[in-house]
Amino acid sequence: MERFEALRDEWLKALDEAGTESEVLELKGRYVGKKRGKIPELLQDLKDAPPEERPALGQAVNKLKNEVEAAIEGALKRVRSARTRLEPVDVTLPGLSPNLGHLHPITRVRREIEEIFISMGYAVATGPEIEDPYHNFEALNTPADHPSRDIQDTFYLKNGGLLRTQTSPVQIRTMESRKPPIKIIAPGRVFRRDDDVSHSPMFFQVEGLVVDRGITMSDLKGTLLHFYRTLFQKDVTIRFRPSYFPFTEPSAETDLSCVICSGTGCPVCKRTGWLEVGGCGMVDPAVFGFVGLDPDEYSGFAFGLGIDRMAMLKYGIDNIKYFYESDMSFLEQF
């Protein structure tokens, strides 16, 4: 019994004097640790005591154990609260700056495109990504049996809706809700059942629409030329190649002199010196019919281009999928 008293005094004193958490934890291991702790040792020793003394000795060891455990808890509380109170703070150290992200390259290019058109007096319009066939096709002069619906392999929804295959429906929605003069661009996501190095099932387009009295195709060409020169910061040229879209007449493909080789021929322009960058044309009178505008009074031009394609050309990226894989080693380069 006396030995227990002595041990208890010794241990409580040591715990009282411990100044750091690791010192306390070290003592805890030494006194009550399961493998080599003193108290478990004492409990082992009880086996050698005479049977009649065992109950009293056992009680004494348990009492000791409780006291020591309480002292350990007390000591831990003491050193932990002392630490939070006394930990020195060096206010001259530089702060911890949070890890800031940055804009996705597609977002950057979209914003650049918006800025260029805003500077020419355009407004930025938006429309729903889940469209109805009327706005995505019919009102764009593309009836259900029209062969051009096959070109844009469509994701149809069970409720009769669809994921818009183009940003052109925003043209219709704009003309339905506003009177000319109209000068808008409509950037946004579009969806097609298409998947290879230059096609992703989801990608970004910008639609442009200008409607007013006396709008001509040279307005269209001048606008696109200014746009491409500003976007690529280069003295590029463009040419119109006759083409077909149901909602424009006449229609053209815009070719841009290659921004990589300046037209001398390289793998990006397939040695032609020209890059196909988007469709355009004069708004078809049939489209004006759908939105109730008089084609004798108004004329307009429209164009569509791919933001992904612009970003690939601007940054020299040869696979559209890189934009959508969330691979940090790619994204961090921008």
CB closer to ligand DAH out of 104 and 149: 149
Residue 166: other Cβ atoms inside 10 A = 24
Does position 223 interact with ligand DAH (CB under 6 A)? The reply is: no
Does position 207 interact with ligand DAH (CB under 6 A)? The reply is: yes
Site for ligand DAH in 247-266 (CB under 6 A): 248
Burial class (CB in 10 A: 0-12, 13-18, 19+), 334: middle
Match 């241990």 to its residue by tokens: 11
Backbone angles phi, psi at 70, to 5 degrees: -65, -40
CA distances 88 to 21, 23, 51, 92, 163, Å, are: 17, 20, 57, 12, 59
SS3 302: strand
Does position 117 interact with ligand DAH (CB under 6 A)? The reply is: no
Q: What is the total count of residues that contact ligand DAH (CB under 6 A)? A: 11
The per-residue DSSP string of 84-103 comes to: HHH----TTSPP--------
CA distance 39 to 45: 10
CA distance 125 to 132: 18
CB closer to ligand DAH out of 105 and 279: 279
Instruction: Report the residue from 191, 227, 245, 322 that binds ligand DAH according to the rule CB under 6 A.
Output: 245
Does position 142 interact with ligand DAH (CB under 6 A)? The reply is: no
CB closer to ligand DAH out of 24 and 190: 190
CA distance 108 to 114: 10
CB of 272 to ligand DAH, least distance (A): 20
Does position 141 interact with ligand DAH (CB under 6 A)? The reply is: no
Strand partners, 207: 186, 304
Strand partners, 189: 204
Does position 280 interact with ligand DAH (CB under 6 A)? The reply is: yes
CB closer to ligand DAH out of 10 and 244: 244
Per-residue binding letters, 151-190, with ligand DAH (x by CB under 6 A): ---------------x-x----------------------
CB of 289 to ligand DAH, least distance (A): 17
Does position 302 interact with ligand DAH (CB under 6 A)? The reply is: yes
CB of 140 to ligand DAH, least distance (A): 8
CB of 309 to ligand DAH, least distance (A): 11
Residue ranges that bind ligand DAH, judged by CB under 6 A = 166, 168, 207, 245, 248, 279-281, 302-304
